[in-house]
Structure 1
Amino acid sequence: MVLERGKGLWVRCGLRDLQPASRKPSLSHRNAPLTPTGRLRLARCVVEDGWPLRRAAERFQVSHTTAARWTDRYRRNGAAGMHDRSSRPHHSPRQTPAAIEQQVVRLRREHRIGPVRLAARCGIAASTTHRILTRQGLPALTATDRATGEPVRRYERAQPGDLLHIDVKKLGRIPDGGGHKVLGRADGRRNKTGTGYAYLHTALDDHSRLAYTEDLPDEKAATCAAFLRRATAWFADHGVSIERVLTDNAWAYTKNTWRDTCRDLGISPRWTRPWRPQTNGKVERFHRTLLDEWAYHQPYTSDAERQAAFPDWLDWYNYHRPHTGISGQTPASRVTNLSEQHT
């Protein structure tokens, strides 16, 4: 028995409960007519309930041939036949020979070069080289470690405070009246004499990406140690207790001043491998974001103007900006109750 209401907004599909059939095909949800669920409904109406093909096509707003295709697949394969199939042909007689594919893979692993240079060495098109690399499961060069050629292994500490990344970004100060972005190259060079540098010290939590940054006059051992004390207190105010701190091998972080400060705070110091800044990559990436979205985001007429804009930007980063490294969450949302305390 088939039940209808009005112009057929309700249809029966096999022995299933009645389900609404949308007038317009849409892929916005799993019950839309042209998804596997909708195809199954259409096929059951024809095969099990005896609907004519043209009536089913009209009811589900598809063509007669489309209705016939899904009905035939249902007869042959059942519900499993309602899913999309790969468009790749069963046979590819003109596919690149296996020997050339092996050469491309070998050169990629030995020399770590991209598709264009591989194509020149192997005598094939760059697009063909790219397809070979994709088929062999080799990642893009940007996703590999330059030293070993292996895919980058990403890690994340389980809890906030398990590891704190610390680094310093040296940034040229802006003279009063503006630099080259405001005045042009020639006048900007003449106006920058004696402006000096800002040393941006940043502490970033590995798990949450919550960041604390200060503009300090230098990167000496005493300055770095004092920054660590303030950063630890700031994170403590936000409910994060620091257990370990990771830095590079800069002079200030290898002195007894740094070690003694870590011991007094109950923090275990860690250092990256020499010449391996990727180990401290999270804070390095934060500094790149900081430059793109704050320091170089717009022309400033003075260093004071740029510094005045920084607190608002850091607040945006910590509490409102979706972070792609943590699935679009904000750093504050990964710290217990912190996001609820800030408006």
Structure 2
Amino acid sequence: MTHRNSPLSVEGRRRLVERCKTRPIAHVAAEMGISRATASKWVHRHREFGEVGLLDRSSTPKQSPTAAPNVVVREVERMRREHKWSAARITFELEQVGIQISRRTVSRILTDLQLNRRRFIDPTGESNREARKIVARCPGHMVHLDVKKVGRIPDGGGWRAHGKDSPEARAVARTKTRGTRAGYVYLHS
């Protein structure tokens, strides 16, 4: 997915490739406000992969060599569900069987499995957290309301606008004694 400030969308990349068929890459890149290297990248991807090469790619790595093996993840989950052990205890128990893993890694695994809090597991070891879904019974059943707290400024402004001993400030002070007071107004939208 292109980011907010990206100069080239998928359509922009198509236009770039079309223009580069008849003109030098450096000239087209300068016209489009991108570097020559970026323009070359998209032209070469189009030559190699066709239209598919112009689409956005996932930025996630294909391999994560330092990720915990699936066997270790399953063992951490089993220990948590069966014994409800803490991350420190799970780390200790894994070290006893020859698996070296840090407590922080165990904590991350438990968070990924949504088992990071003991209260999320019932006595049988099952997860007791259900995904909550809010569903409207009919259109207009649920309404979103925004509330904004705004300072109430007296007519003519306050003493900051005119000075503390000005006639306008004295007029505002007189209105305070009559019952209209400064404070806040809440705007609902």
Which interval holds the TM-score relative to the shorter structure? 0.5 to 0.7
CA distance in 2, matches of 1:39, 1:68: 11
Q: How many equivalent residue pairs?
A: 140
Decide which of 34, 38, 41 is 2:15's aligned counterpart.
Answer: 41
**Structure 1: segments with no counterpart, 5+ residues:** 1-25, 161-206, 212-311, 321-343
Match of 1:153 in 2: 131
Q: Does the CA contact (< 8 Å) of 1:116 and 1:126 recur in 2? A: yes
Which protein has the larger Cα radius of gyration, Structure 1 or Structure 2?
2
- 1:157-168 map, 5 Å: 157-159=135-137
Task: Give the alignment's TM-score, normalised by structure 1.
Answer: 0.32
Letter in 2 for 1:68: S
CA distance in 1, matches of 2:135, 2:61: 44
- 1:287-326 map, 5 Å: 319-320=188-189
Letter in 2 for 1:28: R
Deviation of residue 58 (structure 1)? 0.9
Match of 2:68 in 1: 96
Q: Does the CA contact (< 8 Å) of 1:112 and 1:149 recur in 2? A: no
- 1:241-256 map, 5 Å: none
Cα deviations by residue, 1:15-56 (Å, 9 ceiling, x for unpaired): xxxxxxxxxxx9438xx5233332332223214xx2211112
Match of 1:59 in 2: 31
Task: Give the alignment's TM-score, normalised by structure 2.
Answer: 0.52
Cα deviations by residue, 1:151-174 (Å, 9 ceiling, x for unpaired): 4321334337xxxxxxxxxxxxxx
CA distance in 2, matches of 1:117, 1:86: 37
Match of 1:75 in 2: 47
Letter in 2 for 1:35: S
After TM superposition, the structure 1 stretch with the greater mean CA deviation from structure 2, 79-88 or 54-63, is: 79-88
Decide which of 120, 126, 138 is 2:113's aligned counterpart.
Answer: 138
- Greater strand share, 1 or 2? 1
Change (3 A) 1:68 1:114: farther
Deviation of residue 98 (structure 1)? 3.0
Letter in 1 for 2:142: S
**Structure 2: segments with no counterpart, 5+ residues:** 95-99, 146-183
Change (3 A) 1:112 1:60: farther
Deviation of residue 131 (structure 1)? 5.4
Q: Please report the RMSD computed on the Cα atoms of aligned residues, expressed in angstroms.
A: 4.1
Q: Does the CA contact (< 8 Å) of 2:29 and 2:35 recur in 1? A: yes
- 1:193-212 map, 5 Å: 208=142
Letter in 2 for 1:84: D
Decide which of 102, 110, 117 is 1:125's aligned counterpart.
Answer: 102
Cα deviations by residue, 1:70-106 (Å, 9 ceiling, x for unpaired): 1111111122222333344444455433321211222
- 1:192-271 map, 5 Å: 208=142
Match of 2:4 in 1: 28
Change (3 A) 1:209 1:88: closer
Match of 1:251 in 2: none
Letter in 2 for 1:139: Q
Letter in 2 for 1:107: M
Q: Does the CA contact (< 8 Å) of 1:57 and 1:67 recur in 2? A: yes
Letter in 2 for 1:153: A
CA distance in 2, matches of 1:127, 1:44: 51
CA distance in 2, matches of 1:43, 1:54: 12
